[in-house]
Structure 1
Amino acid sequence: MYKGAILCVDDERIILESLKNQLGQEFGKEYIIELALSADEALEIIDDLQSESVSMLVVISDWLMPGMKGDELLLEIHQRMPQVAKIILSGQADESSIKMLHEKVQLQKFIAKPWKAEELITIIREGIRHG
C-alpha cells in the first residue's frame, strides 16, 4: 500500500524520465511517482489521485513551461492543498516569482538544473516529513 504521491511536472520528457528513475529507486516502494508534461495534466492527475483518496505529498515543478508556468501551478495547488510540499526545479526562473512563491505558498526550495539527486531526495524527504 502506497503512503501518498510525488508529482513531477516538466515540459521535457527526458527530465521527467530522469526524475522518475531517481525518485523511483528511492521512493518507488512507498510512494506513487506521477509525471506530467504540463500544468493542466498535473491538475488532472491531482484530481484523479484525490478521487482515489491518495494524498499528494510533494509537487516538483519546472518554472518555464508553455501555457501555465510553474509559479501559477503551485499557486493553484496551494489553494487546493496548502500542506503539499512545493519545489521548483528549473534551469531558469524569474527571481521575483520565486520570492513570491516563498511568501505565498511556502515554497520549500528552488533547485537549479542540473540538479544533484542526493540534494533533491533530501529535500523531498524533508517535505514529506513536514507536510
Structure 2
Amino acid sequence: MKKAIVCVDDESIILESLGEQIRNMFGNEFIYEMAENADEGMEVIRELAEESIEVLVIVSDWLMPGKKGDEFLIEVHKQFPHIVTVMLTGQADESAIQNAIKNAKLHAYLSKPWSANDLENIIRTGLSKFENKD
C-alpha cells in the first residue's frame, strides 16, 4: 500500500517550504500532498483513502481562514484515527494546543519558524508508531 504525508497551510510559501523539506528527508518513500485550507486538506485525505493510499502524517497550520488547525485535526482524527497529527503554529494559543492534544491526539506541535531538524524528528517519531504496529 502506498503511503502519504499531507501538509496544510494557507500561506503558499510555507506550504512549499514544508513540502520541499519533507521531500528532501524522505525522498520517494511517500506521496506528498499539499492543501491550502482545512476543507481542501480533508478532501485530499478522502481522495487518497479512496485510492487506497494511507495517510500516515498530517502537518497542519493552526491559523487559517475558515477552520482553525485544532478543529481541522480533530475532524481528521474522528474520521481517520490512525493519522499522526502535527500542528504548525506561529501563534496558537495554549487552549488550541490543549484542545488538539485532547481531541485530535496531537502528536506534536512546531512553532514557526521551525527547524528542519525538529520537523524531521517529529515526523520520524510519528512514523515510528506505524512501524511498531505491524
**Which TM-score band applies after superposition, normalised by the shorter structure?**
over 0.9
Q: Which amino acid aligns with 2:66?
A: G
Identity of aligned residues (%): 49
In structure 2, how many angstroms separate the alpha carbons of the residues matched to 1:28 and 1:91?
27
Counterpart secondary structure, 1:107? coil
Counterpart secondary structure, 1:34? strand
Deviations 1:18-53 (Å, cap 9, x if unpaired)? 011111111231001110001011011011100100
Q: Which runs of 5+ in 2 are unaligned?
A: none
Deviations 1:55-109 (Å, cap 9, x if unpaired)? 0100100001000110111011000111111001110102111012112221011
Q: How many residues matched?
A: 130
Q: Which amino acid aligns with 1:91?
A: G
Asked if structure 1 preserves the Cα contact closer than 8 Å seen for 2:70 and 2:104, the reply is: no
Q: Which runs of 5+ in 1 are unaligned?
A: none
Q: What corresponds to 1:48 in structure 2? A: 47
Q: What corresponds to 2:27 in structure 1? A: 28
- Root mean square deviation of aligned Cα: 1.1
Q: TM-score, normalised by structure 1?
A: 0.95
Asked if structure 1 preserves the Cα contact closer than 8 Å seen for 2:3 and 2:53, the reply is: yes
Structure 1 consecutive aligned stretches of length 4 or more whose deviation exceeds 4 Å = none
Q: What corresponds to 1:83 in structure 2? A: 82
Q: TM-score, normalised by structure 2?
A: 0.93
